[in-house]
C-alpha cells in the first residue's frame, strides 16, 4: 500500500466521514447563536453587550480547552476527546433551554459550557485526528473535506433555525439542537485515531513539553499563531453581529439568515479550493491572499449602499474565504512538526484564533452599545486584515531540524 493512495484503510474512511459529520453538527449549531439575540433580549433581558460577552467567553473557552482536548486525543484517542466535549456541549444547550439561564447563568450556559463543548467537537480536534491518517501529499485535501462538509452545517443551519424560530420559538429550537448534539455524540465514537499498525508518523520519543518548546522556538510557528488571531476576530465579528448589523441598516431579518447561509455554502467551495491549492503552491501565500481579500470584502460591504444584493455578494465572497484558512494553517503545522502532537500544536494555534474571536464578539457588541453602530469594529477588522496579510509572508514552510535528521 503506497502513501500516495488517498484512503489507506477502512478506519481512515470511517474517521473522515464521522469527523466531517461531527463538525457539520457542531459548527452548524454554533453559527446560529447570533440569530437568538433579540429573543434573548426580549425574554431573558440580556443586552447586546451581554450576548456578545457570552459568545466571546464561548470562543475563549473553545480556544483554551482545545489544547487540552488535543492532548486527550493525541494520548487516548480522538473518539474519547470528542465524546467528552459533546457532553459539555449538550449540558450548555440544555441549561440554556430549561434554566437556569439568566444573569450569570446565561454566561455559564452559552459561554462556558458550550465553549468547552466546541473545544473538542468543532474543527481542530476532529480535523487533527483525520490528519493523522493521511500523508503529507494529500493531508490538506483530507482536512479541507472535513472543513467543507462541516461548512454545509453553516449553510443549512441558519435556514432551519430561522424557520424554527419563527414557527416554534427559541426554546423548541434549542430542544432540536439538543437532539442533533446527541446524534453527534454517537458519531464521535467513530472518529478513531490510527492504531500503531495504521499510523504514518515515524516513531519518536518526543515528550509533550519538548513538542511545545520546539514549536515556540520556531519564529514561523509564532507568526502562524499571531495570524490566526485575525481569522478568529473576523469570523466571529461577522457570524455574531451581522444579523443585527443588517437590521440596523434597514434590511430584514431574513437577509441576515441568507448571508449566514451563503457563507456556509460558499465556504464549501473555498475550503476545497484552499485544500487543493495547498498541494500546488505555497500555503503562506494562500493565507496572505485570503486575509487581503477578506479586508476588501468588508470594505465593499460597509461602504456600498445597504441592499439585499450587496449583502448576498458579501455573504458569498466572505464565505469563500471563511474557513479556507484552516487547511493551509493546519497543513503548515503538520508539515513543520509532524502529526504526533498535531492535536496539541494546532490546538494552541487555534487558541490564538479564539482569543481573536473573543474580541470580535465582545468588541462588536460593546462598540454598538457605546456608539450606536458597528463602524469601529469594522474598521478594526480591516486593519487586522492588512496585519495578517503581511505577517504570513516571512513564514518558512519546512520541517524542523528534528524531522530533517530522522
Q: How confident is the model at residue 154 (pLDDT cuts 50, 70, 90)?
A: confident
Residue 3 pLDDT exceeds 60: no
Average pLDDT over residues 244-261: 86
Least confident stretch, 76-80, 84-88, 383-387: 76-80
Look up residue 300 and give its three cell numbers.
465593499
Residue 263 confidence class, pLDDT cut points 50, 70, 90: confident
Residues in CB range of 103: below 8 A, 6 or more apart: none
Joined grid coordinates for residue 34:
447570533
- SS3 letters across 61-128: HHHHHHHHHHHHHHHHCHHHHHHHHHHHHHHHHHHHHHCCCCCHHHHHHHHHHHHHHHHHHCCHHHHH
Neighbours of 251 (CB within 10 A): 18
12-194+207-405 falls under which CATH superfamily? MFS general substrate transporter like domains (1.20.1250.20)
pTM for the whole structure: 0.78
Q: Pick the residue with more confidence: 28 or 196?
A: 28
Q: Which pLDDT tens digit goes with each residue over 35-66?
A: 888 899 889 988 878 887 888 888 889 888 98
**Structure confidence at residue 2 as a pLDDT band (50, 70, 90):** very low
pLDDT at 220 (0 to 100): 92
Cα dist from 311 to 242, 290, 324, whole Å: 10, 19, 20
Model confidence over 115-149: pLDDT tens digits? 999 999 988 889 888 988 888 777 778 888 888 88
Q: Which of 119, 376, 70, 350 is nearest to 231 (CA)?
A: 350
What region, left, alpha or beta, does residue 45 occupy, with left being phi > 0 and alpha being psi -120 to 50 degrees?
left
Q: Cα angle at 247 between 265 and 123, to 5 degrees? A: 35
- Residues 164 and 176 sit within 8 Å (Cβ to Cβ): yes
Q: Tell me, what's the pLDDT at 390? A: 96
| Residue 270 predicted with pLDDT over 50 | yes
Q: Please check the confidence at residue 254 and state whether its pLDDT lies above 90.
A: no
pLDDT tens-place string over residues 348-357: 898 898 889 8
Amino acid at each position: 500500500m503506497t502513501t500516495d493512495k488517498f484512503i489507506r484503510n477502512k478506519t481512515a474512511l470511517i474517521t473522515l466521514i464521522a469527523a466531517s459529520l461531527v463538525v457539520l453538527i457542531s459548527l452548524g449549531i454554533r453559527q446560529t447563536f447570533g440569530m437568538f439575540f433579540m429573543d434573548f433580549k426580549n425574554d431573558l433581558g440580556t443586552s447586546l453587550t451581554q450576548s456578545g460577552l457570552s459568545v466571546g467567553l464561548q470562543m475563549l473557552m473553545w480556544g483554551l480547552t482545545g489544547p487540552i482536548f488535543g492532548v486527550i486525543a493525541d494520548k487516548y484517542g480522538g473518539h474519547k476527546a470528542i465524546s467528552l466535549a459533546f457532553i459539555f456541549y449538550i449540558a450548555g444547550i440544555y441549561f440554556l433551554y430549561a434554566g437556569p439561564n439568566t444573569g450569570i447563568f446565561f454566561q455559564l450556559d452559552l459561554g462556558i459550557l458550550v465553549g468547552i463543548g466546541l473545544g473538542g467537537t468543532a474543527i481542530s480536534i476532529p480535523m487533527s485526528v483525520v490528519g493523522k491518517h493521511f500523508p503529507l501529499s494529500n493531508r490538506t485535501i483530507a482536512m479541507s473535506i472535513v472543513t467543507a462538509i462541516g461548512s454545509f452545517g453553516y449553510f443549512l443551519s441558519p435556514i432551519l433555525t430561522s424557520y424554527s424560530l419563527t414557527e416554534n420559538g427559541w426554546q423548541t429550537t434549542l430542544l432540536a439542537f439538543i437532539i442533533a448534539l446527541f446524534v453527534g455524540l454517537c458519531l464521535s465514537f467513530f472518529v478513531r485515531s490510527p492504531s500503531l499498525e495504521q499510523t504514518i508518523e515515524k516513531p519518536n520519543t518526543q515528550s509533550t513539553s519538548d513538542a511545545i518548546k520546539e514549536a515556540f522556538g520556531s519564529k514561523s510557528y509564532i507568526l502562524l499563531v499571531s495570524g490566526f488571531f485575525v481569522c478568529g476576530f473576523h469570523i466571529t465579528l461577522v457570524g455574531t453581529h451581522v444579523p443585527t448589523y443588517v437590521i440596523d441598516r434597514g434590511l430584514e431579518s431574513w437577509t441576515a439568515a441568507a448571508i449566514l447561509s451563503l457563507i456556509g455554502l460558499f465556504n464549501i467551495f473555498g475550503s476545497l479550493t484552499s485544500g487543493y491549492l495547498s498541494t500546488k503552491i505555497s500555503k503562506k501565500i494562500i493565507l496572505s491572499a485570503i486575509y487581503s481579500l477578506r479586508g476588501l470584502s468588508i470594505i465593499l460591504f460597509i461602504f456600498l449602499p445597504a441592499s439585499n444584493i450587496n449583502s448576498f455578494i458579501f455573504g458569498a465572497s466572505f464565505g469563500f474565504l471563511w474557513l479556507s484558512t484552516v487547511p493551509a494553517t493546519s497543513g503548515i503545522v503538520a508539515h513543520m512538526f509532524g502529526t504526533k502532537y498535531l492535536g496539541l500544536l494546532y490546538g494552541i494555534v487555534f487558541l490564538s484564533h479564539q482569543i481573536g474571536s473573543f474580541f470580535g464578539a465582545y468588541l462588536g457588541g460593546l462598540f454598538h452599545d457605546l456608539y450606536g453602530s458597528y463602524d469601529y469594529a469594522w474598521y478594526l477588522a480591516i486593519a487586522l486584515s492588512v496585519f495578517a496579510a503581511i505577517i504570513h509572508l516571512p513564514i518558512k514552510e519546512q520541517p524542523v531540524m528534528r524531522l530533517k535528521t530522522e
